[in-house]
Amino acid sequence: MTDTQHERSNGSTAKLSMRNIEAGYYAHDLVLDHLNIAASPNKATVILGPNGSGKSTALRVLYGILQPRQGQVTLGARDITAVPPHQRLEFGIALLPQGRSTFPELTVQENLEVGGWTLRNDRQKLAQAVEATYERYPILKDMRHKFGASLSGGQQRILEIARMMVSDPKILLIDEPSVGLAPLLVKQVYEEIAKFKAEQRTIVLVDQNIEAAVEIADYVYTLEYGRNHLEGNHTEFEGKLANLVKEWLRF
């Protein structure tokens, strides 16, 4: 078994962690300041905080889009700090980015095939994975020849989630899934995240929909100025959310 196969086979039982992470986008810019986060296997870990506190940046570091200046990212016992995103996908880690990420000039079918990039050398497996995704998200099947740009915002969000799932990832990094959606669609998105959790996938979730996020969480981190603030089991945050929001509004 190759290292990649080994990591993928253990993806559902390996803890994804960042330790003592410093990161930023410019030389003079420090967004994450010695941040520590651990996502336990098969659990939902939620990261909360005011705008600009580093939540999305933390997900980018976990996925390898942004390399930290200091600190370590690990998957189980393996140091993956320098591992590029495409290889983390092969390890079973997938990212649902914030905002619209549909490829507008590609069809629904082509968008899903992009999601199956790790299967690109086996067309039969890729076709089977895409068909399995249509079974999971049947609304997309009749749209398979439509271009991404022609879909509504809600349909694009479904496509983005479906594209993430083509490779059957075990660890899901989900960034602001409810942003810009109507309440009914937000409810549907969180029902889908609940299914991921029931399937024993590891979830790291960032969202401004604090109540829904905490409700689905097993463990919660809050950030301030890119640093650890509070953390604990979701029950420890019951009754504290209103005060936290008031505090964050002062940032």
Domains of the chain: 3-92+169-248 (3.40.50.300), 102-166 (no CATH)
Contacts of 158 (CB under 8 A, 6+ apart): 137, 139, 140
Q: What is the pTM of this model?
A: 0.91
Find how far residue 94's CA is from the centre of its chain: 6
Q: Tens digit of pLDDT for each residue in 29-88?
A: 899 999 999 999 999 999 999 888 999 999 999 999 999 999 999 999 999 999 999 999
What percent of the chain stands above pLDDT 90?
A: 73
Q: Tens digit of pLDDT for each residue in 193-217?
A: 999 999 999 999 999 888 899 999 9
The average pLDDT across 107-116 equals 94
Q: Tens digit of pLDDT for each residue in 5-32?
A: 445 545 557 899 999 999 999 888 899 9
* pLDDT for residue 242: 75
Q: What Å distances lie between residue 152 and 135, 146, 180, 233, CA to CA?
A: 20, 11, 12, 36
